[in-house]
Amino acid sequence: MLDAETAGAQIRTQSREEPWPPLRQAYRAAWVLAIVQMCAQFNNGVMTLLVEHVKRDLGLTDLQMSYLLGFSVALFHVIVGVPGAILVDRHNRKWLMAISVAIWSAATSACGLAHSFWRFFAARVGIGVGESISGPLAYSMLADYFPPAKLPRAIAIYNVGFQGGTALSLLLGALMIYVFSSLPTIDVPLLGTLRDWQIVFILTGLLGIPILLLVSGLSEPRRRGLSAAMMNSGGPNLADVLVYLGRNWRVYGPIFIGLSLTSMHMFGVAAWSAAFYSRTYGWNPATVGLYSGLLNLALALPSLVAAIWVNDLFRKRGHADTNMRVLALGFSTAAPFMILGPLMPSPWLALAMSGIGSALMLLAAPSLNSALQIVTPNQMRGQMTALYMFVMFAVGGGFGPTFFALLTQHVWGDEALLNYTIATSGALLFPAAALLYWYGVKPYRERILEMRAAGAPV
């Protein structure tokens, strides 16, 4: 049930607050944060194109490669992210974001200097540390820039950064691989011999410099819904947030558990996508990057528009449960495409099925994040979002790539059958997640109606 005392105090405080920031300023911030997310996705996406290169030159197995793809980043993302989110709820978010970008960019370049598994692992850990509070920072800022009715639009813009970053990592990554693959190894004083894939990592990390300049131009939005007593007390700690989450488990449970299932599949697909097209259809990484990147880029804007349109449609029809309803619909309709895509007889059909499934997920993604921000008190948003990211990265990022490697090795028994691994994962995880999201519609609707009854503009 809703904590009436907490909600009431927040609502009474909101009613006395100043107007929301000007929309022009808010939308500018949303696009800057989308570009930050784009840079993070670019850094991670390039890694998936270079799987076979890194595996070959460092002499790694699929299982070792899965640790570099998922577990290494997730490990410290989890360890640092949840306690670090206390900073999100208490300190200047703009400058915390700048620090975050600086760390992950430096760590990405460090991947290009690695000549062994453990050095590469350490650099990937650095990426996890840098990215650990980026998501909580962005969502916390957006929830203070935009009123609840417009928050799904802001998060849709932010999600374009995810889609656009994935597309650019594939396109520009493919271009860099094509350009540098024809060059001989380079001997650099103090750094040793650099191969083509190492140069790609170094250049990718340097992209963080212009991103830092953009972040420094943001304005820190005023935190809303905080009384003087809340601000003077320093806010709730992690134990308080966990107690609140447990007390409201019917609302949060479907979101968190469903997320763990879908993110496990999607992180696995992202990590092994280039290897899948190579092993199943014979495409090289540059070809995979080119066509996958063009597809993701083409889907970014239509998915943004569709997400806004569908959310507004249900809201205008009076559905108090709009966010959870759209979330459940999106993942339910995406499931068949995620299961059948890797079984297609040609790479073009596989790309098309994957693209449709991803578009349907993108349509639902803003509703997922909006739902979490709207039902969570402001003084807990950073830590609650960090727990959300914990689930996504600990379960999805940490185990997704390894889950795929284990399915390939122990269920199908042949690296060439990676396509059956992807289909198996989709068949197990996506229907289960969709059912959980549908289960969450009713408690979410009840929460929104209670908040409305208490005077909240949701």
Sign of the torsion formed by the C-alpha atoms of 57, 59, 62 and 68: negative
Could you give the CA distance from residue 242 to residue 245 in angstroms, rounded to a whole number?
5
The answer on pLDDT for 58 being more than 50 is yes
For the record, the structure tokens of 11 come out as: 């609502």
Report residue 3's pLDDT band, with 50, 70 and 90 as the boundaries. Answer: low
The answer on pLDDT for 398 being more than 60 is yes
Per-residue pLDDT at 224: 75
The answer on pLDDT for 8 being more than 60 is no
Per-residue pLDDT at 295: 84
Distance of CA 348 to the CA centre of its chain: 26
Which of the pair, 14 or 176, is modelled with greater confidence? 176
Domains defined for the chain, CATH in brackets: 13-453 (1.20.1250.20)
Per-residue pLDDT at 443: 93
DSSP codes, 50-65: THHHHHHHHT--HHHH
The answer on pLDDT for 229 being more than 70 is no
For the record, the structure tokens of 69 come out as: 């793809």
Once rounded to an integer, what is the mean pLDDT over residues 34-45?
82
Report residue 87's pLDDT band, with 50, 70 and 90 as the boundaries. Answer: confident
Per-residue pLDDT at 74: 67
What is the C-alpha end-to-end distance of the chain, expressed in Å?
Answer: 17
Could you give the CA distance from residue 214 to residue 237 in angstroms, rounded to a whole number?
31
Mean per-residue pLDDT over the chain, rounded: 82
Report residue 182's pLDDT band, with 50, 70 and 90 as the boundaries. Answer: low
Contact at 8 Å (CB) between 300 and 308?
Answer: no
Per-residue pLDDT at 2: 42
On whether the pTM is more than 0.85, the answer is no
Per-residue pLDDT at 396: 78
> CA dist 380 to 61, 140, 352, 407, 452, Å?
42, 9, 40, 38, 20
The answer on pLDDT for 179 being more than 80 is no
pLDDT tens for 419-449 read 999 999 999 999 999 999 999 999 999 999 9
Could you give the CA distance from residue 114 to residue 312 in angstroms, rounded to a whole number?
48
Q: How many residues can be counted in the chain? A: 458
Per-residue pLDDT at 339: 94
Contact at 8 Å (CB) between 325 and 368?
Answer: no
Could you give the CA distance from residue 288 to residue 277 in angstroms, rounded to a whole number?
7
Torsions phi, psi for 186 (to 5 deg): -115, 130
186, containing H or E segment? strand 186-188
Per-residue pLDDT at 336: 95
Could you give the CA distance from residue 196 to residue 183 in angstroms, rounded to a whole number?
7
